Amino acid sequence: MNKEILSKVKRYDTIIIHRHLKPDPDALGSQVGLQKLLQRNFPEKTILVTGEDEPTLSWLAKMDVVPDNLYLGALVIVTDTANMARIDDQRYRQGDYLIKIDHHPNDDPYGDIALVDTNASSASELVARFAFENDLDLDAYTAKLLYAGIVGDTGRFLYPATTATTFDVASKLRRYNFDAAALSRQMDSFSYKIAKLQGYVYDNLEMDENGAARVVLTQDILKEYDLTDAETSAIVSAPGQIEDVKVWAIFVEQESGIYRVRMRSKFMPINQIAKEHAGGGHPLASGANSYSLEENDRIYQELQALVAPR
């Protein structure tokens, strides 16, 4: 598949790369890492990235301005995005040829060709493997972007998706001249207001006797702590640091009244629950949408049932 993707890259003069809405380090790392990789190896081509800029990750990468007319006859690549509805910038449909590069379950197949490997730790790992397997040249910034994506999606190499291949790829990226320690500090740091929100999460976490936990962040709470929805992603792992918590959900109220639901699990797959509530994702890390307080309760009850003794 990597050879087939490279063949398509060589064929097109204009390449536009997308990723998912509300990007995390892997979304940006894979998207912009792929851009910089291709720009270095094919400097004669026009290669752009599109989507909304994420202010909390502006230190890592920013987007280009992509005029509509550039999609005519272009190759479009989408990284780190399982579902078409979650692709940032719906103009991805306007290109001549579409490639999907992803590591999530392929529940929503799209693209003329798709490189989907659910055993990969991250989309950034897949892009790095694409580079190494095709003997493409990398620079330090490209390596930094891809390394950041891997670090982000493996939880600093703690999550089960971290494999020997992941460490091998990360080791190759670390040979490039970027400050990995500074990058890790940047990714591990958060603002004082996030620290205060983390305290709120611990103070208000609801947990049952079997280790199912939840917390609800209303619009009033977000305004009180002067936070955006994107910034709340920094505390998603906080409940999991409690020894007795096995599965958990963080319900974040949007301005529309819908709740964005971030679900995590230490051992038991939760992505099926996410799929039943307009979402999806990895077995142990998924996202969903809830359209009422009643649906919030149903999701929590389903998580409780998951860990209840049988």
Average the pLDDT over 256-276 and give the result: 95
Residue 122 and residue 183 share a domain: yes
Proportion of the chain in helix, strand, coil states, percent, rounded to 5: 45, 20, 40
Residue 150 binned pLDDT confidence (cut-offs 50, 70, 90): very high
Residue 242 and residue 174 share a domain: no
Residue 288 and residue 213 share a domain: yes
Quick one: DSSP state of residue 108?
S
**Taking 90 as the threshold, does the pLDDT of residue 160 lie above it?**
no
Residue 211 and residue 281 share a domain: yes
Residue 51 and residue 177 share a domain: yes
Average the pLDDT over 248-264 and give the result: 96
What Cα–Cα distance (Å) separates residue 223 from each residue in 73, 153, 194, 232?
45, 28, 13, 12
Q: Please identify, among 187, 206, 224, the residue that sits at the C-terminal boundary of a domain.
A: 187
Residues 6+ apart with CB under 8 A from 171: none
* CATH number, residue 245: 3.10.310.30
Rounded Cα gap, residues 213 and 210, in angstroms: 9
pLDDT at 8: 97
Residue 243 and residue 171 share a domain: no
Rounded Cα gap, residues 124 and 101, in angstroms: 9
pLDDT at 98: 98
Residue 276 and residue 226 share a domain: yes
DSSP string, 172-217: HHHTSSS-HHHHHHHHH---HHHHHHHHHHHHH-EE-TTSEEEEEE
Residues 6+ apart with CB under 8 A from 305: none
- Of 22 and 89, the structure prediction assigns the larger pLDDT to 89
Residue 282 binned pLDDT confidence (cut-offs 50, 70, 90): confident
Residue bearing tokens 């026009």 = 46
Q: Please identify, among 187, 203, 220, the residue that sits at the C-terminal boundary of a domain.
A: 187
Q: Which of 203, 208, 199, 204 is nearest to 235 (CA)?
A: 199
pLDDT tens for each residue of 15-49: 999 999 989 999 999 999 999 999 999 999 999 99
Residue numbers of the domain that contains 202: 192-307
Rounded Cα gap, residues 10 and 242, in angstroms: 50
Residue 92 and residue 30 share a domain: yes
pLDDT tens for each residue of 182-239: 999 999 888 999 999 999 999 999 999 999 999 999 999 999 999 998 889 889 999 9
**Taking 90 as the threshold, does the pLDDT of residue 2 lie above it?**
no
User: Which of 15-24, 58-67, 148-157, 280-289 is predicted least confidently?
Assistant: 280-289
**Taking 90 as the threshold, does the pLDDT of residue 252 lie above it?**
yes
Percent of all residues in the chain with a pLDDT value above 90, rounded to a whole number: 89
* CATH number, residue 47: 3.90.1640.10
Looking at the 3D structure of the chain, how many domains does it have? 2
Residue 21 and residue 119 share a domain: yes
Residue 247 and residue 228 share a domain: yes
Rounded Cα gap, residues 268 and 59, in angstroms: 35
Q: Please identify, among 187, 221, 247, the residue that sits at the C-terminal boundary of a domain.
A: 187
Count of H helices and E strands in the chain?
Answer: 10, 11
Average the pLDDT over 236-258 and give the result: 96
Q: Which of 260, 212, 279, 259 is nearest to 240 (CA)?
A: 212
Residue 171 and residue 225 share a domain: no
Rounded Cα gap, residues 208 and 234, in angstroms: 24
pLDDT at 274: 94
Residue 162 and residue 37 share a domain: yes
Residue 1 binned pLDDT confidence (cut-offs 50, 70, 90): confident
Rounded Cα gap, residues 118 and 24, in angstroms: 18
Q: What's the half-sphere exposure (Cβ side, CA atoms, 13 Å) at 5?
A: 26
Return the number of other C-beta atoms located less than 10 Å from residue 101's C-beta.
29
